[in-house]
Amino acid sequence: MTIPATVPVLGWAWDDLLFLGLAGILLGAALLVVLGRDIIHSGLWMMLCFGALAGVYALLGAPLVAVAQVLVYVGAISVLVLFAIMLTQSKAGPLRLVFHRQAWVAAIASIVLFALFVVVVAEGDWPQRAAEVTRTATDQLARLLFNDYVLPFEGVGVLLLAAVIGGVYLAKRDPGQGGSL
Amino acid sequence: MSGSLDAYLLLAGALFSIGVFGFLARRNAIAMLMSIELMLNAVNLAIVTFGAFVPALTTHASVIALMVMAVAAGEATVGLAIVIAIFRNRRTPLVDEYDAMRE
């Protein structure tokens, strides 16, 4: 059985359908992260949002970035965030107001920001508006990463070590201080 | 649509705007950190998009996106550790109740 060249009923290219589906999931999940009342659900929607973004990366021809997105965001950061949520849930927390009282100002600000983005994208003098997506060759990426970018690469390694040590230091309980966390 | 730079940039812009709203409007410190993650991901999407549509930048964009991801992971670690440290003292994750410096 062969897959038809375009989507059977709609007549779109498969990539367009994939893009629309992933973009819909991405934006819907992001909105639920921001608007949801229960913060645990927000954390779970964030995982879905990051997974859809990994799909968009794959669509853009960057497979290594997509895999790293799944490993780092869906796998590591989301779990970290969920643990932090569970450590900081107070009984009164979820029942009370989720947003600040001035949330409508934030809504206006973000809508204005999005309108600005639309204007910039529409008016900007971009090099190529529509083109074939260029795929990233992973062997070239590795060669670039370990030749031209080797100093930033090592710097990122040191930064991650510092972040891990700093995180442990900040979050560990002082020996003198009791408390039940 | 999947072959147009504008669609991906608008997607990144929309994601960033959602993150901005969450950062400004949510009271929970961890929800604010999650909104920051959304914004970082939006920027990463813009970087990878330009890499995919400008052939000279393709591999560089992937490298830079990976670097941004690593830095974001470090930021999340330290940010969440700070939130937990503050929670231990103040017993609340809500940022508008952190008012010790206002008194």
In tens, the pLDDT along A131-176 reads: 778 888 889 999 999 999 999 999 999 999 999 999 999 888 776 6
Which tens digit of pLDDT belongs to each residue from A27-57? 999 999 999 888 899 999 999 999 999 999 9
Q: What is the pLDDT of residue A157?
A: 94
The answer to whether residue A53 is domain-embedded is yes
Question: B63 with A144: CB under 8 angstroms?
Answer: yes
Q: What is the pLDDT of residue A91?
A: 59
Furthest C-alpha separation in chain B: 56
The answer to whether residue B89 is domain-embedded is yes
The answer to whether residue A125 is domain-embedded is no
Which tens digit of pLDDT belongs to each residue from A82-139? 999 988 876 555 556 778 888 899 999 999 999 999 999 888 877 666 677 888 888 9
Q: CB A128 to CB B81 under 8 A?
A: no
Residue whose token pair is 């932090």:
A84
Do residues A79 and A144 both lie within one domain? no
Print the domain residue range for A42.
9-89
Do residues A84 and A146 both lie within one domain? no
Q: CB B5 to CB A59 under 8 A?
A: no
The answer to whether residue A69 is domain-embedded is yes
Asked if B4 reaches chain A (Cβ–Cβ under 8 Å), the answer is: yes
Of A53, A73, A89, the domain-final residue: A89
Residue A11: pLDDT over 90 = no
Do residues A83 and A143 both lie within one domain? no
Here the tokens at position A146 are 């370990």
Print the domain residue range for B56.
5-97
ipTM over 0.95: no
Residues of chain B with pLDDT under 50: none
The answer to whether residue A162 is domain-embedded is yes
Question: B6 with A122: CB under 8 angstroms?
Answer: yes
Q: What gap in Å lies between CA A175 and CA A178, rounded to an integer? A: 8
The answer to whether residue B103 is domain-embedded is no
Cβ within 8 Å of residue A80, ≥6 positions away: B76, B77, B80
Domain harbouring B51, CATH code:
1.10.287.3510
Question: A99 with B27: CB under 8 angstroms?
Answer: yes
Secondary structure (H, E, C), chain B:
CCCEHHHHHHHHHHHHHHHHHHHHHECEHHHHHHHHHHHHHHHHHHHHHHHHHCHHHHHHHHHHHHHHHHHHHHHHHHHHHHHHHHHHHHCCCEHHHCCCCCC
Question: A168 with B74: CB under 8 angstroms?
Answer: no
Asked if B85 reaches chain A (Cβ–Cβ under 8 Å), the answer is: yes
Size of interface A-B (CB pairs under 8 A): 267
Closest among A19, A37, A151 to B45, alpha carbons compared:
A19
Q: CB B27 to CB A117 under 8 A?
A: no
Q: What is the pLDDT of residue A94?
A: 53
Chain B interface, mutation test: which of A12, A14, A33, most B Cβ atoms within 10 Å? Answer: A33
The answer to whether residue B32 is domain-embedded is yes
Cα distance from B102 to chain A (closest Cα, Å)?
Answer: 18
Q: Kindly list the distances between the CA atom of residue A115 and the CA atoms of A73, A94, A118, A119, in Å, as whole numbers in the listed order.
A: 28, 32, 5, 6
What is the count of structural domains for chain B? 1
Residues of chain A positioned with their CB less than 8 A from the CB of B66: 64-65, 68, 145
Q: CB A167 to CB B16 under 8 A?
A: no
Q: What is the pLDDT of residue B56?
A: 86
Q: What is the pLDDT of residue A126?
A: 74
Q: What gap in Å lies between CA A103 and CA A81, rounded to an integer? A: 23
The answer to whether residue A112 is domain-embedded is no
Cα distance from A1 to chain B (closest Cα, Å)?
Answer: 25
The answer to whether residue B102 is domain-embedded is no
Residues of chain B positioned with their CB less than 8 A from the CB of A53: 41, 45
Residue A1: pLDDT over 60 = yes
**Contacts with A, B 37-66, CB within 8 Å:** 37-38, 41, 44-45, 48-49, 51-55, 58-63, 65-66
The answer to whether residue A77 is domain-embedded is yes
What is the 8-class DSSP label of residue A4? Answer: -
Q: What is the pLDDT of residue B81?
A: 92
Do residues A29 and A85 both lie within one domain? yes
Q: CB B84 to CB A181 under 8 A?
A: yes
Do residues A141 and A77 both lie within one domain? no
What is the count of structural domains for chain A? 2
The answer to whether residue A149 is domain-embedded is yes
Residues of chain B positioned with their CB less than 8 A from the CB of A181: 84, 87-88
Do residues A82 and A145 both lie within one domain? no
Q: What is the pLDDT of residue A133?
A: 80
Domain harbouring A82, CATH code:
1.20.120.1200
Q: What is the pLDDT of residue A98?
A: 77
